[in-house]
A = this chain, B = another copy of it.
Amino acid sequence: MGITERKEKQKQEIKKMILDASMKLFMEQGFENVSIRKIADLIEYSPTTVYLYFKDKNEILFNLHEMGFHKMAEYNTDLWTIKNPLVRLAKMGEYYIRFGLENPAYYELMFILKAPMEALEVLDATCEWKSGDQALGKLKETIQECMDKKLVEKGDVEAVAMSIWSMVHGMVALAIRDRFDKLVPRDQMVAMMQRGLTWLLNSLDISDKKT
């Protein structure tokens, strides 16, 4: 069935066109200024055509949200070459913050906007957020390793993971949503986040102080 196969391929290509156009607009104009009509305009189709490839706007946003996780993975390629889990943990935080600040549009899709999660609830009955679960899993792994190697005090891995994630997420979310720069000068922002992160990890580190 070479013919139907090529057709399927073409369909995927148009889907990609729609997603790329959406993301372009999203990055240029922000979430609230992207409409199906503008997307359709950009790829030179009628607005209704978009609905032949995606159920609704939420489904588009969900797909972009997935692309965001792939993009984030690119930031972390060299992460697992780091053998010291505490150093790796620090790098994870650093990369996370950098990814968020350098790709605010993706970050919004992944961790702030409700729309992608609404799509997930419709799409998947089990409502599993695979991408998020996987990303959090890697954080938990690293923390577990820190505890195993007695670099960090033993404790509730899950709660610690959620806490660390919450902190870096909080930083990025506050920055993206214009709260951070109202309180500290913009040029000091990144440095302060970094100081906060190293301060936290330093407080955790028990490798030096043998009680």
Identify the interface centre among A155, A160, A170: most chain B CB within 10 Å of its CB.
Answer: A170
Contact A129-B162, Cβ < 8 Å, known A167-B167, A167-B170, A170-B167 = no
Bits for A83-111, please: 1 = Cβ < 8 Å to B, else 0: 00000000000000000000000000001
Identify the interface centre among A160, A163, A165, A197: most chain B CB within 10 Å of its CB.
Answer: A163
Contact A174-B166, Cβ < 8 Å, known A159-B192, A160-B196, A192-B158 = yes
Interface: A21 (CB within 8 A): no
DSSP class of A's interface residues: helix, strand, loop or mixed? helix
Q: How large is the interface on A (under 10, 10 to 19, 20 to 34, 35 or more residues)?
A: 35 or more
Name the one of B112, B163, B180, B195 contacting A200, with C-beta atoms under 8 angstroms. Answer: B163
Q: Which residues of B contact A74 (CB under 8 A)?
A: none
Contact A195-B117, Cβ < 8 Å, known A174-B169, A211-B209 = no
Interface: A60 (CB within 8 A): no
Closest to A189 in B: B162
The reply to whether B165 and A170 contact each other, CB–CB distance below 8 Å, is yes
Interface: A187 (CB within 8 A): no
Contact A163-B197, Cβ < 8 Å, known A129-B179, A174-B111 = yes
- Chosen A-B contacts, 5 in total, with CB atoms closer than 8 Å, are A112-B173, A159-B199, A163-B196, A166-B166, A166-B169
6 nearest CB pairs, A to B: A170-B170, A166-B170, A163-B196, A129-B182, A167-B167, A159-B195
